[in-house]
Amino acid sequence: MPDGPYGDAIRRGSNIFTRTGLHVKDHVGNQLSCDNCHLDAGRRANAAPMWAAYGAYPAFRATTGSVSTLEDRIAACFTYSMNAPGSVSGKAPAPGSQVYRDLVTYMAWLANGAPAGERLRGAGYPRISKPSDGYDLNRGRVVFRQNCAQCHGVDGQGSRDGQGHTTFPPLWGRGSYNWGAGMAQVDMAAAFIKANMPFGRPGSLTDQQAWDVAAYIDSHERPKDPRQNGTVAQAARKDHAGEDSFYGTTLRGHLLGIGVGAGGAVEPG
Ligand code: HEC
Ligand code: HEC
């Protein structure tokens, strides 16, 4: 890592990336850090690495219907994946904030020498096609108990050390990503899981198991989608149409999407 101000900025960005709640706590409403999903401090191929993201923006995004800058893309992960607290203390950092500058400096350093303007091999989470008979929550629960619960807990809540730092991140409930996150969509979670989980044994699940367990974790209640102003049914039509997600469906007698902390209890696994 270089000395001087450049090195200082890289280190600030790296710290934000790996200890997000500690360094930018006003913009984090859950127990996650960026590197819980972008593994190995944003360096691992097929875990949406930051060296691949850096040169890939500005780019058109179907979710917003417009071109996103890298800053916009990071803001989206703050808003949904980090559940930035909209009504409590802050939302995603404001445009032009130092938080983005530090993160982008870190990404630029990781991307040193990588070509810009194209999608690099290892970018994103490689999509896996949907099995012909779809996915099944009961099978998913079995996959979860056998391959995931030892780290993430039978209740999906993960664990924290004595300082409150996340050792194993929660997969649903109050401390997890919200309903607007990419990871709340079954196809995206299946892609992430296939390439990256169980931690230390990536690629060991079949595609069917990855889809089943992705559906299982994403069939649990989590923080509300911050875009939802009216009813869940309205938000389902406006923001979740065509998605592979459980948003707005009723399972185990519970309307998914109401959100935890707003009368939506975390149901048992
Ligand atoms: C709950 C998981 C999760 C967390 C936490 C998370 N992200 Fe993401 N991020 C995603 C997903 C899912 C994508 C989309 C990947 C894809 O399309 O293949 C993504 C994409 C990105 C991209 C674009 C990558 C590309 O190649 O286009 C950037 C940049 C990014 N995230 C930055 C961040 C930053 C910075 C943080 C922390 C402030 C963060 N993310 C936290 C899940 C997460
Ligand atoms: C050996 C422990 C271990 C096992 C087993 C494991 N994980 Fe993980 N998982 C982790 C760790 C650690 C992270 C965070 C990665 C990091 O910070 O480097 C993580 C991150 C995740 C994330 C993204 C962050 C979040 O909380 O949303 C998901 C989703 C996930 N795991 C799902 C699964 C699923 C599904 C299984 C079973 C197929 C599984 N994991 C098995 C340790 C484990």
Q: Which residue's CA is the closest to the ligand 1 atom numbered 26?
A: 53
CA distance 194 to 210: 6
On whether residue 201 sits in a domain, the answer given is yes
**Angle (nearest 5°) at CA 88 between 37 and 247:** 50
| Ligand 1 geometric centre to CA of 178 (Å) | 13
Closest ligand 2 atom to residue 209 Cα is 38
115 in a structural domain:
no
In a domain, 121, yes or no: no
Q: Look up the pTM and report it.
A: 0.96
| CATH code, domain carrying 164 | 1.10.760.10
- pLDDT per residue as tens digits for the range 236-259: 999 999 999 999 999 989 999 999
Are 164 and 232 in the same domain? yes
Query: What is the C-alpha to C-alpha distance for residues 29 and 66, in angstroms, rounded to an integer?
Result: 26
Which residue, of 110, 129, 154, is where some domain finishes? Answer: 110
**Residues of the chain under the 50 pLDDT cut:** 88-89, 262-269
Report pLDDT for 90.
Answer: 56
Q: Quick one: 182 and 227 in the same domain? A: yes
**For a substitution probing ligand 1, which of 63, 72, 81 has the most ligand atoms within 8 Å of its CB?**
81
pLDDT in tens, 139-176: 999 999 999 999 999 999 999 999 888 999 999 999 99
Ligand 2 atom with least separation from CA of 200: 1
In a domain, 128, yes or no: no
Domain residue limits at 83? 4-110
Which domain-ending residue is among 110, 128, 145? 110
Within a domain: 266: no
- CA of 50: how far to CAs of 39, 44, 235, 237, in Å? 10, 9, 31, 32
**Cα separations in angstroms, 256 against 1, 21, 248:** 45, 26, 5
Q: Is the CB of 125 under 6 A from ligand 1?
A: yes
Residues 77 and 28 in one domain: yes
142 in a domain, yes or no?
Answer: yes
Q: For the purposes of burial, counting CB atoms within 10 Å of the CB of 131, is it exposed (0-12), middle (13-18) or buried (19 or more)?
A: middle
In a domain, 131, yes or no: no
81 CB within 6 A, ligand 1:
yes
Is 164 contained in some domain? Answer: yes
Distance 192 CA to ligand 2 centre (A): 10
In total, how many domains does the chain have?
2
